[in-house]
Chain A
Amino acid sequence: MIAVATSDFASLDLGSLLMQAAQVQAVPASSLTPAGWTPAWAFWILSALVVVGAISTISQRSLISAVMSLVATFFGLAGLYATLSAHFLAAIQVLVYAGAIMVLFVFVIMVLNRDEVERVSDRGLLDKAIGAGALVYLAVRLGEVIASPVGPVSRMSKPAPEFGTVAKIGEYFFTEFLFPFEAISILLIIAVIGAVVVARTVVSRPTTSYEVPNAASGSAEGGDDHAGGDAHGAHGGH
């Protein structure tokens, strides 16, 4: 069941991309601002960025390089969204994923300060089999879409010009998709509260190293960055 849904989604997705790549040239250039000026080669460049970035993400040995590759992938995805006239989604993709979540990743890697990790190669036979199966499946689906005589273009219609604008998305949020929107809000709030609860139980005494320490406690670890503050808190306040 899930497989069917995903396969449909995958082919539709690629189909729409290819269709866009074929059609964007037909739009008169004068009716668009430069932001909407998307020639067909933009699709190929952005797709190449996504694919190369994704491969680089899983093959880099340096953690930071892997994260930066993932940032490049997100950037390429945002670009693809923009060529599909989903400018709002593109901006949010960069803002949330590339700009916030990945910065957090980098921050954590820097705090942990781990050296390069060994490439994981001693996976079991089952893992390899699953991976190979997925790869074959992907190749078959891709070949099917590319080689189909009708072409993927006929499967989808072009989105309306206002599709993906801020106003339209706002309208969707508060009419058709109000319930999922609110449900996700609640889910996120629960996650935030959960994070606070977990963080609170680990550090029993919310303190920073900048507070003047007791005369008894030696100030050898009086670091002045945030990591230093946490380390001090974890020491349990003497």
Chain B
Amino acid sequence: MTDSILMFLAEHTAVAALLKLLLLVLGFVMPLASLSTWAERRQSAMMQDRLGPNRANIGPVKLWGILHFVADAIKMMFKEDVVPAKVDRFLFALAPVMAIAPVLITFAVVPFGPDLCVGQVLSVVTDPTTCKATIPLQVARMDVGMLFYFALASLAVYGTTLAGWASYNKWSLLGGLRASSQMMSYEVCMGLSLMGAFLVYGSLEPNAIVTAQGSNILNWGIFTQPLAFVLFFTAAIAETKRAPFDLPEGEPELIGYFVEYSGMRFGIFFLAEFIETIFLAAIVTTVFLGGWQVPGLDSSGFGSFHLPHLAVVLLQVVAWSLKILFLCWLQLLIRWTLPRFRPDQLMRLGWKQLLPLSLLNIIITAAVVLWRSGGK
């Protein structure tokens, strides 16, 4: 029964892709993003010696206040949707869509597990390449892989910029201007800092990068490309527009590009920001933390301790999720630890420090790769 379902999915890739997309987005990304909205306030409260949101409950069920995200969602949906008088109505409505759609689509390239060998789920698989039929645990496996991610991520800036423009409000316009200049500057560094990793692992395709890293932890991106890890993580946090890079929002002076938005439209901007943090965690995991690899776990099990294929895959998917949770937590920690940059500091960091360092990283990596391949 299970085998025939899996076989059907292996043959009908479009159906499988749709299922995987639903599983990934509705089963992992959206719940995690909603939880982050609560976790952020709770964690910041703990860091500042406060209690934070801990009271929302359904009867006696309280769960440390986790239910706050449900309360927030209900509040957002039932709030009045105010559209100011002189806004550009079409662009005003388009902006939240442009903010959230690209980040959700980019999850298509993230591999959240190895290829599932259909028909051998309960036996030990020593060489996954010999499988007759496989289901890749990744929605879209494209040759351009990471370029697809960069292309769509570069579209996310329209959400903030259009929101700033369409709102017909000086502060939101300033926020939108800041967002577009900031995201343009840091995109360059983001792309260039990953170039070294592409050279080392010889591919742009995320799953190939994960496979190339293997289960040996010393071969993971964070050890082979330590400088790129720091550069990419910094630039990517700037892309998510969160503190210390939250100039487009700049609460004390601007309130942000979404100042005129209310109700669920604001909620979408809010959610998009958290989805971006999850996506950043997913990319860092893929390129620098071995993706779904577990240290020491090969496709047949830990060394001579064999495990059935299904158990190996499950362990790897769980490892992937844990890595993402850790990186989300780390981003919250950074966000509540560092104060905001000034705009000139932001530009100096992006163009005069991160960019030259990422170029240096490419040159050094290229030289080492050339030397190790014997100059061919």
Chain A contacts to B: CB under 8 angstroms: 29-30, 32-35, 37, 62, 64-65, 68, 71, 78, 87-88, 90-92, 94-95, 98-100, 103-104, 106-107, 110-111, 113, 165-167, 208, 210-211, 224-227, 229
Q: How far is the CA of A211 from the CA of B219 in the complex (A)?
A: 45
A100/B143 in contact, CB under 8 A: no
A94/B152 in contact, CB under 8 A: yes
Q: How far is the CA of A44 from the CA of B276 in the complex (A)?
A: 33
Name B133-188 residues within 8 Å CB distance of A: 136, 139-144, 147-148, 150-155, 157-158, 161-162, 164-166, 173-174, 176-178, 180-181, 183-184, 187
B147/A92 in contact, CB under 8 A: yes
Most A Cβ at <10 Å: residue of B164, B176, B344? B344
Chain A interface SS verdict (over half): helix
A-B contact count (CB 8 A): 126
CB-defined interface of B251-282 with A at 8 Å, one 1/0 digit per residue? 00100000000000000000000000000000
- B72 contacts partner chain A, Cβ-Cβ < 8 Å: no
Q: How far is the CA of A99 from the CA of B155 in the complex (A)?
A: 5
B164/A110 in contact, CB under 8 A: yes
Chain B residue at minimal CB-CB distance from A98: B155
A103/B344 in contact, CB under 8 A: no
Q: How far is the CA of A71 from the CA of B162 in the complex (A)?
A: 13
Name B176-205 residues within 8 Å CB distance of A: 176-178, 180-181, 183-184, 187, 204
Q: How far is the CA of A22 from the CA of B154 in the complex (A)?
A: 33
- B13 contacts partner chain A, Cβ-Cβ < 8 Å: yes
- Distance in Å from the Cβ of A219 to the closest Cβ of chain B? 15
CB-defined interface of B118-137 with A at 8 Å, one 1/0 digit per residue? 00000000000000000010
- B75 contacts partner chain A, Cβ-Cβ < 8 Å: no
Interface residue from B11, B139, B152, B176 paired with A110 (Cβ < 8 Å)? B176
Q: How far is the CA of A128 from the CA of B143 in the complex (A)?
A: 46
- B342 contacts partner chain A, Cβ-Cβ < 8 Å: yes
Q: Which residues of A contact B84 (CB under 8 A)?
A: none
A88/B143 in contact, CB under 8 A: yes
B141/A226 in contact, CB under 8 A: no
A95/B150 in contact, CB under 8 A: yes
B13/A100 in contact, CB under 8 A: no
Q: How far is the CA of A136 from the CA of B247 in the complex (A)?
A: 52
Q: Which 9 pairs across A and B sit closest by C-beta, in order of nearness? A: A99-B154, A94-B151, A34-B17, A91-B147, A95-B151, A35-B142, A208-B344, A91-B144, A35-B140
Interface residue from B13, B151, B154, B177 paired with A226 (Cβ < 8 Å)? B177
B155/A33 in contact, CB under 8 A: no
Most B Cβ at <10 Å: residue of A65, A99, A100? A99
Q: Which residues of B contact A208 (CB under 8 A)?
A: 343-344
Interface contacts beyond A166-B143, A226-B181: sample of 14 additional A-B pairs, CB < 8 Å, sorted by A = A35-B142, A37-B13, A65-B90, A68-B94, A68-B158, A87-B143, A87-B144, A92-B147, A94-B151, A94-B154, A99-B154, A104-B184, A106-B161, A210-B344
B158/A111 in contact, CB under 8 A: no
Interface residue from A32, A78, A87 paired with B13 (Cβ < 8 Å)? A32
A106/B13 in contact, CB under 8 A: no
